Amino acid sequence: MAKTPTVFIDGEAGTTGLQIRERLAILPGIAVRSIDPARRKDPEARRALMAEVDLVVLCLPDEAAKESAALAASLGDAAPRLLDASTAHRVNPDWAYGLPELTAEQPALIAAAPRVSNPGCYPTGAILLLRPLVEAGLMPADYPVCVNAISGYSGGGNAMIAEYEGRRAPDFEIYGLGLTHKHVAELQHYSGLTRRPIFIPSVGDYRQGMIDSIPLHLDTLPGRPKPADIEALLAARYAGSEYVRVVPATPKLEPQALNNTNLLELRVHGNEALGQAVLTARFDNLGKGASGAAVQNIGLMLGIAVETRLPAAAE
């Protein structure tokens, strides 16, 4: 009988790590190995456990993720495969980008890669909206894109959760107004844009759920497409996708409807007479934006079927 693959989640007590652990706990095809909590930041203890497992999932701040990747590399031939949930390696060509829906080839690249970087929450939705348009020539690569987004406060990890749940944070705020948010690099790179997009995130007083929205003046696009043309392009691109769905436009949209799932909905809200449209992507920042996506990638990397929903949502 084939050996059950083993996984160590480095950072399993954090927001993302905990949700990956909960999802993996119900899978019979994977054995999760945990570190002694007292030694969870001890490099030697982490390195020793890395040597014993097939796959390490990094759910750490960027600097700690880089340190962990170096610890794994120091094991040479005994190094485990890595899946990094942080921002540290997302545009590093030595790491596969863990967005299986990016291209037809991406699932096979992820399945074979020694190192995979899980995408950022905000870029996941924006890339899935933009890349097909750029590839089809419907949007020029140098188009001046603006992405607005809202996240639940769990997107800021344990520190932001404590601020909101301790009533020490505003009900709503926009941020990243220096225009240098850490997600812009991967958003631009994997969308295929040559001009740096403007990205304006915001966070509200609710735990989880995310919407990216991208306004378009259709008369500035080649061929002046109608909203229905864009919707048809996206629908054809994601036909048959297990998790990404193109669904009808709605006059209003709230961000929490897909929580605890790995689903992502794309919409084209448009007004043909005005020549304007807004593209939206709705998903769970902790689901397809983090832990659900990580479990999807773990399934591809280990070649096993996985359940990407949280156990409560799967009932």
Ligand X SMILES: NC(=O)C1=CN([C@@H]2O[C@H](COP(=O)(O)OP(=O)(O)OC[C@H]3O[C@@H](n4cnc5c(N)ncnc54)[C@H](OP(=O)(O)O)[C@@H]3O)[C@@H](O)[C@H]2O)C=CC1
Task: Please choose, out of 107-115, 152-160, 247-255, 299-307, the segment that lies near ligand X2W by the rule CB under 6 A.
Answer: 152-160
Q: Which is nearer to ligand X, 70 or 108 (CB)?
A: 70
| Whole-angstrom Cα Rg for the chain | 20
Positions in 161-200 near ligand X2W (CB under 6 A)? 182-183
CA 230 – CA 17 distance, rounded (Å): 36
Q: Does residue 263 bind ligand X (CB under 6 A)?
A: no
Number of residues that bind ligand X2W (CB under 6 A): 12
Q: Which is nearer to ligand X, 87 or 188 (CB)?
A: 87
Q: Does residue 203 bind ligand X2W (CB under 6 A)?
A: yes
Q: Does residue 227 bind ligand X (CB under 6 A)?
A: no
Closest approach, Cβ 10 to ligand X2W, in A, equals 14
Instruction: Give 66: exposed, middle or buried? Use CB within 10 Å, 0-12, 13-18, 19+.
Output: middle
* DSSP-derived secondary structure for the chain: -PPPPEEEEETTTSHHHHHHHHHHHT-TT-EEE---GGGTT-HHHHHHHHTT-SEEEE-S-HHHHHHHHHHHHTTGGGPPEEEE-SSTTTT-TTSEE--TTSSTTHHHHHHH-SEEEPPPHHHHHHHHHHHHHHHTTSS-TT---EEEEEEEGGGGHHHHHHHHHTT-S-SEEE--TTS--TTHHHHHHHHT-SSPPEEEEEEESSSS-EEEEEEEEGGGSTT---HHHHHHHHHHHTTT-SSEEE----S---TTTTTTS--EEEEEEEETTTTEEEEEEEE-TTIIIIIHHHHHHHHHHHT-----S-HHHH-
Q: Which is nearer to ligand X2W, 121 or 244 (CB)?
A: 121
Positions in 66-85 near ligand X (CB under 6 A)? 85
Q: Which of 11, 98, 125, 155 binds ligand X2W (CB under 6 A)?
A: 155
Positions in 137-156 near ligand X (CB under 6 A)? 154-155
Q: Which of 58, 69, 110, 121 binds ligand X2W (CB under 6 A)?
A: 121
Task: Please choose, out of 72-80, 148-156, 227-235, 269-277, the segment that lies near ligand X2W by the rule CB under 6 A.
Answer: 148-156
Contacted by 201, from ligand X2W, ligand X, none: CB < 5 to 8 Å by type? ligand X2W
Q: Which is nearer to ligand X2W, 27 or 187 (CB)?
A: 187
Q: Does residue 86 bind ligand X (CB under 6 A)?
A: yes
Task: Please choose, out of 40-48, 71-79, 155-163, 257-265, the segment that lies near ligand X2W by the rule CB under 6 A.
Answer: 155-163
Q: Does residue 47 bind ligand X (CB under 6 A)?
A: no
Q: Which of 64, 258, 300, 302 binds ligand X (CB under 6 A)?
A: 64
Q: Does residue 98 bind ligand X2W (CB under 6 A)?
A: no
Residues noted as catalytic:
121
Instruction: Give 130: exposed, middle or buried? Use CB within 10 Å, 0-12, 13-18, 19+.
Output: buried
What is the number of residues in the chain? 315
Number of residues that bind ligand X (CB under 6 A): 26
Residues near ligand X (CB under 6 A): 11, 13-17, 40-41, 59-62, 64, 85-87, 121, 154-155, 157-159, 285-286, 289-290
